[in-house]
Chain A
């Protein structure tokens, strides 16, 4: 009990210290906060009414984002199939799957926007760096999901089919695949949703898609146009979410 009391005291001191330290090291000034209100009002005022003439750019940017997400997801699926097997506890030896899992954790730890910036530097502006960045970033999660789908397969039905005289391919087809396929389909759709959502902003660093127009219009102070594009992004995110909810129900 005494130990827990001390632990609680130490934790609250640490939290309080961290908050104080943060206030000391950043330039949080009340005068600036007070003047923010009118500025935001002005900013929002310049966004209204959103300029509807950018519909063409929205369609063009939206289509490009969709293409980046589709090709990026395809790349991630292609990379995740072998990496998923190599990260599976039931398919390979512990040293190998631990190494691959660590590698995947590293990949997951790198933010997509950072990968995209590096890829823009490597292959130039446009959708290509976006596609590569999405494929790389998504593999960190998808390969882990695939490994878990493989490890989640129950061994008992496989043994039962073997006992009934089914060959290895028939066992794969009728005992392993029916258990894995819905999980893989659900995980892939989930990751595609994330890819689509995350690639909406890739254009901000020059990696293609609708985000390019947000950045362009904000930089050139055309806030009414930027507002239209932002609204379009919000509509897309909500639409993706709605489609995904409907799809996920099918693979329960």
Chain B
């Protein structure tokens, strides 16, 4: 079975920037594993996840996701995109639409183009969306408009939309950065549990080492666009974590790209 993610010698610089956002990254994520990308703000975690979601162009190296290699010059085939689900840091929901409509939006890539345009979901689409809502504990919010929800509820809607997509790889960008510790643990339990129940691979980024330890089988430390460590959670030393953050403390506000 091919790995969920395979990255060889990947480098990327944002357009108009000389400094690399990602530098010579290699990473192998087996199917079904739950991986945390740990690192300070600006380390390149979001960039790496967006690249795996097929949203960045002009990188160097070789990357394959779910057995298909990504093309640095063009977006992935639309038919493949639903297989990779993405939970956005700022939720990226349609605020004026209902919770159910937002979750059904996750089904759009699996519908025929005409059905997607008309918004006429099949009973299977509806069942999948309702099941995702139930899994996220928000079945009772289905008819509410998103702009009437709290931050924690919105995060659950964003995850439900991702699950409705029936992804085999779930990428989550700082899924709990805006939540208090108790809510954060709830959301990560939900996210990693849902991935496990579906046999899906999960990668989430975080800047909180304790959460990464609790919810990931493996932790990849990223700093200045480079992988600084890649270890099973049980092998992660306090020292490695401390080193990851030391550089940022030394250079407040400058960011790690300037250091490397």
A interface with B by C-beta (< 8 Å)? 154, 156-157, 159-167, 169-170, 173-175, 178-179, 182
A160 to B91, CA, bound (A): 9
Interface size class of B (residues with CB under 8 A): 20 to 34
Contact indicator A170/B108 (Cβ below 8 Å)? yes
Could you tell me if A164 and B109 are in contact, using CB atoms closer than 8 angstroms?
yes
Contacts of B106 in A (CB 8 A): 164
Q: How many A-B residue pairs have CB under 8 A?
A: 84
Pick 18 A–B contacts, CB within 8 A, sort by A.
A156-B92, A157-B92, A160-B105, A160-B161, A162-B55, A164-B105, A164-B161, A165-B82, A165-B109, A165-B110, A166-B109, A167-B116, A174-B97, A174-B101, A174-B119, A175-B94, A178-B97, A182-B96
B82 adjacent to A173 (CB under 8 Å): no
Which A residues are CB-close (under 8 A) to B15? none
Who on chain A is nearest to B54 by CB?
Answer: A163
Interface centre among B53, B85, B109, B165 (most CB of A within 10 A): B109
CB distance A179 to B96 under 8 Å? yes
Residues in B neighbouring A174, C-beta threshold 8 A: 94, 97, 101, 105, 108, 116, 119
State in angstroms the CA–CA spacing of A73 and B150 once bound together: 39
Report the minimal beta-carbon distance from B214 to chain A, rounded to whole angstroms: 27
Q: How far is the CA of A163 from the CA of B85 in the complex (A)?
A: 7
* Nearest neighbor of B81 in chain A, beta-carbon distance: A165
Whether A178 contacts B90 by the Cβ 8 Å rule is no
State the majority secondary structure of interface residues on A.
helix
Residues of B with C-beta under 8 A to A169: 113, 116-117
Report B-chain residues with C-beta under 8 Å of the C-beta of A154: 95
Given A164-B105, A165-B79, also A170-B96 (CB < 8 A): no
**Interchain nearest-CB distance for A240 vs B (Å):** 27
Q: Determine the chain A residues whose CB is within 8 A of the CB of B78 once the complex forms.
A: 165, 167
**Given A157-B92, A157-B93, A182-B96: A163 and B113 interface contact (C-beta under 8 Å):** no
Whether the Cβ atoms of B95 and A164 lie closer than 8 Å is: no
Given A161-B108, A165-B79; 11 other pairs, CB 8 A cutoff? A160-B86, A164-B105, A165-B108, A166-B108, A167-B113, A167-B117, A170-B113, A174-B108, A178-B96, A178-B101, A179-B95
Instruction: Compute how far the CA of A162 lies from the CA of B108 in the bound complex, rounded to whole angstroms.
Output: 9
A-B CB proximity, top 7 nearest: A165-B109, A165-B81, A166-B108, A156-B92, A160-B92, A170-B116, A165-B82
Residues in A neighbouring B111, C-beta threshold 8 A: 170
Q: Does the CB pair B55–A164 fall under 8 Å? A: no
Q: Does chain A have a CB within 8 A of B88?
A: yes
Chain A's closest residue to B111 (CB) is: A170
Contact status B110-A163, CB under 8 Å: no
Residue from the set B79, B94, B106 with the largest chain A CB neighbour count within 10 Å: B94
Q: Which of B81, B93, B113, B117 contacts A164 (CB 8 A)?
A: B81
